[in-house]
Amino acid sequence: MTVLSLEPSPPDIPRVLPEHDLTDLDDKCAQLVQCVRAGQVDAILVHNDSIALPLVSRLQASGIRVPDDLAVVTYDDELAPLADPPLTAAAPPRRAVGAEAVELLVERLEDPERPPHRLILDPVLNVRG
């Protein structure tokens, strides 16, 4: 957010959505609905699809129209096309990630003293809805 000169969101806006605690998801969704209705939030980025789909379903049940009232972008793009409406998603380059991981493992086995390095593999943005 700093790099993009964005202001941090107010503390009453949920930042973490639980993947396996549906009661907490319901609570966070209710908070998010209030924030959308108050005009505090008009877009969210959700990591990952498996939490975005139940969230969108709950938002819609609360009267929030996606994407009209709230734009939802997710990361992973495994389930995003199956949502109603289909969600815009960042799709990681899975094959490239796997290939690079294997290559790095082999290089580490051959040279355990090899210095760490950073590799950036950009996702593709699939715009939907």
Backbone angles phi, psi at 63, to 5 degrees: 95, 5
* Eight-state DSSP code of residue 1: -
Q: In the structure, how many helices (H) and strands (E) does the chain have? A: 3, 4
Identify which of 2, 32, 30 has the alpha carbon closest to the alpha carbon of residue 15. Answer: 32
pLDDT at residue 90, rounded to an integer: 96
Tell me if 91 sits within 8 A of 77, measured CB to CB.
Answer: yes
Find the largest Cα–Cα distance for the chain.
57
pLDDT digits (tens, 9 = 90+) for 75-112: 999 999 999 999 999 999 999 999 999 999 999 999 99
Query: What is the model's pTM?
Result: 0.80
Percent of the chain scoring above 70 in pLDDT = 100
Inform me whether the pLDDT recorded for 24 exceeds 80.
Answer: yes
* Eight-state DSSP code of residue 77: -
Average pLDDT, the chain: 90
Give the position of tokens 């503390």.
Answer: 11
Which helix (H) or strand (E) covers residue 50, if one does?
Answer: helix 49-61
Write out the E strands in the chain: 43-47, 71-75, 88-91, 124-126
Confidence of residue 116 (pLDDT cuts 50, 70, 90): confident
Handedness of CA 46, 51, 55, 57 (dihedral sign): positive
Identify which of 63, 53, 67, 66 has the alpha carbon closest to the alpha carbon of residue 25. Answer: 53
Q: Which two tokens stand for residue 42?
A: 């008009």
Confidence of residue 34 (pLDDT cuts 50, 70, 90): very high
Inform me whether the pLDDT recorded for 19 exceeds 90.
Answer: no
